[in-house]
Amino acid sequence: MKVSELCKMIEDSIRSGRYPLETETQKKFASMLQVINKSDSEDLHDANIRIETRVQDLYVVSNYVPNIQHLPGVIELDVVDSFKMICRKLDRLDQGIKLK
């Protein structure tokens, strides 16, 4: 499997509701999620795999080494966690704007 194929699969899984979305913010922004391969290669065995999880202008870049056992699953869990973290940030930003 290519890295970009894995990214697309994870993105589609979150958008389709395969993972339970816990907040209205997560439901709202699931359609805007982008999971992007920032690596120099498509190979999951490459020495430096970089995955960007992005919602609008907020993003998280995670780095991986190829010798992690169950690497695709680890990447999948990290993307889900990064998406939820970004949504919490968006919630806080939205609340800050409403308070002003």
Q: pLDDT tens digits for 18-35?
A: 988 999 999 999 999 999
CA 83/CA 62 separation, integer angstroms? 12
CA 19/CA 12 separation, integer angstroms? 10
Q: What is the mean pLDDT of residues 49-73?
A: 93
* Higher local confidence (pLDDT), 95 or 92: 92
Count other C-beta atoms under 10 Å from residue 83's C-beta. Answer: 24
* C-beta contacts of 10-17 below 8 A and 24+ residues apart: 10/35, 10/75, 10/76, 10/79, 10/80, 11/35, 11/79, 13/76, 14/79, 14/80, 14/83
Q: What is the average pLDDT score of the chain?
A: 91
Q: Which of 52-61, 63-72, 86-95 has the highest mean pLDDT?
A: 52-61
CA 57/CA 36 separation, integer angstroms? 14
CA 36/CA 3 separation, integer angstroms? 9
Count other C-beta atoms under 10 Å from residue 48's C-beta. Answer: 12
* Higher local confidence (pLDDT), 98 or 99: 98
